[in-house]
Amino acid sequence: MSKIQMTTPLVEMDGDEMTRVIWQMIKEHLIEPWVDLKTEYYDLGLEHRESTGDQVTVDSAEATRRLGVAVKCATITPNAARVEEYGLSQMWKSPNGTIRAMLDGTVFRAPILVQGIEPCVRNWAAPITIARHAYGDVYKNAEMRVPGAGKVELVYTATDGTEQRTLVHEFAGAGVVQGMHNLDASIESFARSCFEYALDTRQDIWFATKDTISKTYDHRFKDIFQEIFDADYAERFAEAGIEYFYTLIDDAVARVMKAQGGFIWACKNYDGDVMSDMVSSAFGSLAMMTSVLVSPDGIYEYEAAHGTVQKHYYKHLEGQQTSTNSVATIFAWSGALRKRAELDGLDDLAAYADRLEQATLATIESGEMTGDLARISSIDNPRVLSTEDFIKAIATRL
Ligand code: NAP
Ligand code: MG
């Protein structure tokens, strides 16, 4: 049998710990037997980030801008413990943060639905995708404890020295105060990424803020979305038969609980942080969640939503058997290969990506799964497989 050919390489970003182990297994058992895999390889494992002074992360993001599609393994974001564990010369920044800043993207997260893992919300029949704005607001705030009586003001000083002031509050006693910001340019990128992704996946998009209370700040988000939609997307949405819908955040929350799913919910930074955890746990598990970073100019980076599964890795290093769920990492590969196929017009590669996903879901539906799913599955007597045996069971079906 001749292998499925690729024309443009994928940017491959290898990572750390248990997901690095899974990464090799997926390539060996699920991809390379069928696909003549072409990748431009970047090792984002922490040791290699250290030895390159983190240049490899920057190089991988630049390669993604050049080639258009990347697949990324989970990576360690160093903290003090990791600095010691790996003997790091400094606490390197989060690779996801670096890549996100360079691609100016929005992160879309959607649950992977499978028979036998039922969402807690009974009417959620199709996935709800969360689109989280990944810049500003409370994540880049400035805050202060107010020690006692006095006046707090917001002061803007223009480059020519002119000032604009707004009273925040006349304090009679102690309290707290916070200032935050966002940028028109970042909100515009967020809006474009959302509209592009909605067209790409043919789903309606909802956006909600608290603009009735935040009449300037949140209202700016609402206006920018509407202006960009009217100017560049209204016609294309009508042709695709999809809708853009704005509502108040409280109304959105109530509607989401009653909805059937199958749409994208665009969220401001904080709302996206909180709501994506709610949506993913209600759908089942973080290991059954796809995540893709989409830049406003249509560059895609696919990854799993979970981390490097450190505890399982330490068991693996001690020679103990693990049962780590590889579904989200498999779907990162299938998503990236399908996108590459679409851009390069490779029908057999697209069909392979579909079959890889079908084989993965069918394996779980037949009762063969990893421990995390067996714990929440409604299937009678599921068979718990090891990390490697689960991947091999998928390979057999494939
Ligand atoms: P984690 O790797 O997501 O794992 C947390 C726990 O969730 C695991 O201990 C495990 O629970 C369960 N879990 C997550 N993924 C699973 C899977 N595929 N299969 C089975 N169970 C799974 O988060 P963490 O342990 O807090 O973080 C580990 C490292 O990952 C950190 O260094 C962090 O910086 C990094 N991280 C990277 C990314 C990224 O690159 N995208 C994202 C988040 C975190 P049990 O132990 O109960 O089985
Ligand atoms: Mg969170």
What is the residue-wise DSSP string for 349-387?
Answer: HHHHHHHHHHHHHHHHHTTEE-HHHHTT--SSSPEEPPH
Q: What is the pLDDT at residue 286? A: 82
What pLDDT is attached to residue 127? 92
- Whether the CB-CB separation of 119 and 279 falls below 8 Å is answered with no
Pocket perturbation via mutation, ligand 1, pick of 76, 99, 309, 369 by most ligand atoms within 8 A of CB:
309
Q: For ligand 2, a single-atom ion, which residues have Cβ within 5 Å? A: 273, 277
Write down the pLDDT at residue 276: 86
CA of 278 to the centre of ligand 2 (A): 9
**Residue identifier of the C-alpha nearest atom 27 of ligand 1:** 307
pLDDT tens digit at each of 398 positions of the chain: 799 999 999 999 999 999 999 999 999 999 999 999 999 999 999 999 999 999 999 999 999 999 999 999 999 999 999 999 999 999 998 898 889 878 877 899 999 999 998 888 999 999 999 999 988 898 888 999 999 999 999 999 999 999 999 999 999 999 999 999 999 999 999 999 999 999 999 999 999 999 999 999 999 999 999 999 999 999 999 999 999 999 999 999 999 999 999 999 999 999 998 898 889 888 878 889 999 998 888 899 999 989 999 999 999 999 999 999 999 999 999 999 999 999 999 999 999 999 999 999 999 999 999 999 999 899 999 999 999 999 999 999 99
Residues of the chain with CATH 3.40.718.10: 1-113+298-398, 118-140+182-283
Atom of ligand 1 nearest to the CA of 73: 40
Q: Which of 83, 308, 373 to mutate to test the pocket of ligand 1 (most atoms within 8 A of CB)?
A: 308
Q: Which residues form ligand 1's pocket by a CB distance below 6 Å?
A: 74-77, 96, 286-287, 303, 306-311, 324-325, 372
Rounded to the nearest angstrom, the distance between the alpha carbon of 248 and the centre of ligand 1 is: 33
Taking every pair of C-alpha atoms in the chain, what is the biggest distance, in angstroms?
80
Q: Would you state the pLDDT for residue 48? A: 98
Domain 118-140+182-283: which topology? Isopropylmalate Dehydrogenase (3.40.718)
Of the bound ligands, which one is closest to the alpha carbon of residue 278?
A: 2
Report whether 105 contacts 291 (CB < 8 A).
Answer: no
Q: Cα(137) to centroid of ligand 1, in Å?
A: 26
Name beta bridge partners: 303.
72, 291
Query: Which ligand is the nearest neighbour of the Cα of 96?
Result: 1
Ligand 1, atom nearest to 306 Cα: 3
CATH architecture of 1-113+298-398: 3-Layer(aba) Sandwich (3.40)
